[in-house]
Amino acid sequence: MKYFIDTHDKSKGSFPAQELTEQEFFDQFAALEKAAHELGVFGHAAHVNLKEGKAFCFMSGPDEESIRKAHAAINLPYDSITEVRRVTGADMRTPHPVKLEMRKTG
Torsion angle, CA of 23/21/51/32, rounded to 10 degrees?
40
Q: Determine, yes or no, domain membership for 71.
A: yes
How far apart CA 69 and CA 67 sit, in angstroms, is 5
> Could you tell me the CATH number of the domain that includes residue 16?
3.30.70.3090
Tell me the pTM. Answer: 0.76
Q: Determine, yes or no, domain membership for 89.
A: no
How far apart CA 47 and CA 74 sit, in angstroms, is 19
Total structural domains within the chain: 1
Q: Determine, yes or no, domain membership for 101.
A: no
Range of the domain at 76: 2-84
Q: Determine, yes or no, domain membership for 102.
A: no
For the chain (106 residues), the mean pLDDT of every run of 10, in chain order, is 95 94 94 93 94 96 96 95 81 56 55
Q: Determine, yes or no, domain membership for 64.
A: yes
Provide the pLDDT for residue 73. Answer: 95
